[in-house]
Structure 1
């Protein structure tokens, strides 16, 4: 699968979209919200459209959607782990 960043507005969000791959369309938008106090919430938004008409729709709903949901949850947990481990870094605009 090949994707392209189609929108980029740091530090708030970016959008990547499939340009070649198995789906008719795939769009992924991680959105980052500053909650204050050095906390950030990341919300993943993903839209998938499968090929093959009604069969593709059924496969997407039954198999693909739960798989992608788990994948995004695992990815978010990994990002959270890395971000919390990086707390020893000194960020220029961050008070200690």
Structure 2
């Protein structure tokens, strides 16, 4: 299974970064290039433990829906969301937050599996891992920008 790991240093308190990372509204802002909208479950505000959100977005020219659930939660250090239904065979996105001297380190670990066996694995290698990395980096760029604007 492909695994994407990203570290983002943010000059803001850990609690602020944690809450921005679980903001439905900020997520939609950071994915506006895909037209992503929350259409069911928690559709605005801060997602909480056990809650689900269903997203609708256009990827690779096709409108898709995906439902994820917050499966682990330890504010302000960690939360994980996992796909309940959608185009992936599975995915788990871990969000780790580490206090540093004057900033917060946000660590993403995104593990996913595509359907369609060998064809899916080739698609991961050729296209999907890079595509998902770019989406996550853009999301983190927006979180960083907003978090640091409060300083």
Name the TM tier (shorter chain): 0.7 to 0.9
TM-score, length of structure 2 as denominator length:
0.56
Q: Deviations over 1:32-84 (max 9, x none)?
A: 100022x1010110001000000001101111100000111111111000000
Question: Among 35, 39, 49, which residue is 2:100 paired with?
Answer: 35
Relative contact order higher in (CA < 8 Å, ≥ 6 apart)? 2
- Structure 1 runs, 4 residues or longer, greater than 3 Å off: none
State the alpha-carbon separation in 2 of the partners of residues 86 and 41 from structure 1.
17
> Equivalent of 1:49, from 110, 113, 125?
113
Whichever of the two has the greater Rg, that structure is: 1
Take 2:95 and 2:150, find their aligned partners in 1: how far apart are those partners? 20
Query: Which consecutive unaligned segments of at least 5 residues does structure 1 have?
Result: 88-96
Number of residue pairs the alignment of both structures matches: 86
| Matches of 2:77 and 2:148, distance apart in 1 | 19
Q: Which runs of 5+ in 2 are unaligned?
A: 1-65
TM-score by length of 1: 0.87
